[in-house]
Structure 1
Amino acid sequence: MVTTLPGGQAGRPPDLLDRNLAAGAPNRCWAADFTHVKSWAGVVYVAFVVDTPSRRVAGWSAATVKETVFVLDAQEMALWQRDRDQHPVQSGELTHHSDAGSQYTSFAEHLDAAGIAASIGSAGDAYDNALMERA
């Protein structure tokens, strides 16, 4: 089942990481992706946001549809979780990396408003988001 549908190319954030998802400290690089799980009741999509230095799942979300709000919920959970753990994200320090799926290309403005740099690789290319693809 295909989960990555390319978003529009106009105004799409650049790939700031060029496949280098290493970071020296928490809240510097987050990788995001989602997958599907088949169940008796149908397909469920699960999105994850991972803080790359520790590979800790910072946020997640599950839904029955692949809409932007579903991946945005995972991002919001990650921000809330880091605040709760008294390690809030500092504006201008974090890069959020994902593939070029339409769900991720459409919330770059939200990331910008939170002081988070959006980094987007190519659509459906496992090498551009290898940390998430191998999980």
Structure 2
Amino acid sequence: TYREWTSPQRVVAARTVSDAEVEDTVRKLVWQPDGQGRRKMQPAGLYGRRKMLAEVHRAGLTTASPGAVDRVMRTLGLSGVLRSKKVYTTSSDPDGVRAPDLVDRNFTSDRPDRLWVADFTYVRTWAGFTYVAFIVDVFAQRIVAWNAATTMATDLVMTPLR
């Protein structure tokens, strides 16, 4: 009944009490006061459930369960930041022969069509990689010729040169 629900003798569920303890601990770990009295988010605010559970246990609340930490993090709007795997796109050959620097790193020109530089790169698309080779006029800083292909072959670079 309503009177029973509003009575002060109502028993609080054990899970509610334990979640409140976990929430207090997580709040202390995540938000620390700075020098001006404002709360500032700490790196622990970026942790996922497993790291946060370990931090809560280190803080002294060893009875906290993974589910309780999950619920509290959801309530506080915290979610772990995923690290992406580092992608290595180039593997250079330290013993390879390097092309000579014909312009001596001086990428300036006093008139058009006097100095062109060439390069190629790749672009990730939904269908895979697309490779693009291009030639740039140094004076105008505009692309003079370019070519795109799905394979990195000699024709990719030679076509803009023709």
TM range (shorter): 0.3 to 0.5
Structure showing greater relative contact order (alpha-carbon pairs closer than 8 Å, 6 or more residues apart): 1
TM-score by length of 2: 0.40
TM-score by length of 1: 0.48
Q: Per residue, is there more helix in 1 or in 2?
A: 2
Asked which structure has the greater CA Rg, the reply is: 2
